[in-house]
A and B are shown apart, each in its own frame.
Chain A
Amino acid sequence: AQKITQTQPGMFVQEKEAVTLDCTYDTSDQSYGLFWYKQPSSGEMIFLIYQGSYDEQNATEGRYSLNFQKARKSANLVISASQLGDSAMYFCAMRPIQGAQKLVFGQGTRLTINP
């Protein structure tokens, strides 16, 4: 079984600051993928970034980077130079790599960017 834990229900950050959203996971799978999704108040679920368990380098996508520490089983999302439009709910998720496998989500972190 897999489990994702996001311990920050809410985060408040000033515009232009960097923010780190925490995610820890537990799995018995050897190969797995870690994902971050953004859910604005409008409701859609937007894919942000992916990290494979065997990837040696941390994933980056524009202002998003994933701080992957396999031994600690953590996959924190770092958003640099935050913008007002970054205000949203953020979900960490994981699944085994092989096959058509479902995503297991954490509880989410609500990020609010203050001007």
Chain B
Amino acid sequence: AAGVIQSPRHLIKEKRETATLKCYPIPRHDTVYWYQQGPGQDPQFLISFYEKMQSDKGSIPDRFSAQQFSDYHSELNMSSLELGDSALYFCASSSIVSSTDTQYFGPGTRLTVL
């Protein structure tokens, strides 16, 4: 079965640089979520999109923005990167019409800011 695809898998950036993370949800899933997981921590919700519209926003810094495109893929744009942005970034997708609306996670993008 098709899974959530994230690219790149690893990314190394310098402070103050920008980064773009991409997410391709499972086909026919209508909702995309972004989570940030710091070292030794649980995943924290950043932002979500339902049918290409932002549906919820969590603890996402103003330096970050995201959008979902017409083909349902999503991108997380991160600017003025800081050392504290080093983390594992997950994209998850779900289908709101499914009985459980389970969120399935991609493999994650590991971002290292030097």
**Contact surface of A with B, Cβ cutoff 8 Å:** 33, 35, 37, 43-47, 50, 52, 91, 97, 99-108
Contact = CB atoms under 8 A, between A and B. Distances in A.
B90 A50 contact: no
B43 A103 contact: yes
A44 B55 contact: no
A86 to B, nearest CB: 18
B107 A44 contact: yes
Given A103-B45, A105-B43, A37 B105 contact: yes
Interface string B27-41: 000010101000001
Contact of A47 (B55, B105, B108, B110): B105
Interface string B19-61: 0000000000001010100000111110010100001101000
